[in-house]
Chains A and B, each alone.
Chain A
Amino acid sequence: DAKTTQPPSMDCAEGRAANLPCNHSTISGNEYVYWYRQIHSQGPQYIIHGLKNNETNEMASLIITEDRKSSTLILPHATLRDTAVYYCIVRAAYSGAGSYQLTFGKGTKLSVIP
């Protein structure tokens, strides 16, 4: 699976949009971009994933650049409960030997400030 790069930390004012960037310049054609978050001492929570089109669900929007080398997760109206570590993961669409593991990097620690 391709490597990802995320800023170690970000702040966002409560009620504003949080835009979390992820660089995945070595992504290949059959790899998806996944986003998870982990609130302190809880299990990771799935947020959204996409291949090349932008995606939106009840939690967030995912914007993937046309060349697929980077993406941005958008939380439209951040609340204090969105304070967490956000992980961007690139993962092959098809399983193969050793590909079942989700590889979490260090992620971005998002702090939502009142």
Chain B
Amino acid sequence: DAGVIQSPRHEVTEMGQEVTLRCKLISGHNSLFWYRQTMMRGLELLIYFNNNVPIDDSGMPEDRFSAKMPNASFSTLKIQPSEPRDSAVYFCASSSGTGVIGSGEQFFGPGTRLTVL
């Protein structure tokens, strides 16, 4: 398996523009997690899905952020409108939810580095 795939790897945009980040889960995994990593705040969980259903979105910063799973293998994270303070590395991770530690074994993608000017 190719692992978790994220696109784009780098995104530079101007304030006010819409940004869409994409993630393809590992085949057979049923849990999907979106994280944001910054120097100031570390790694923050934004939202996670189980079987395509959002379970906990308490980490989503505000209404400008939205995430969807249109099917079992794909997810998008959208920011509209984007702001400079959204600049960060965004990771998605997937998990099978099976095994002794459930969804604790998460497989991370390489991340998308977002810069909002």
- Do A and B truly interact? no
Identify the B interface with A (CB < 8 A): none
Which residues of A pack against B, CB within 8 Å? none
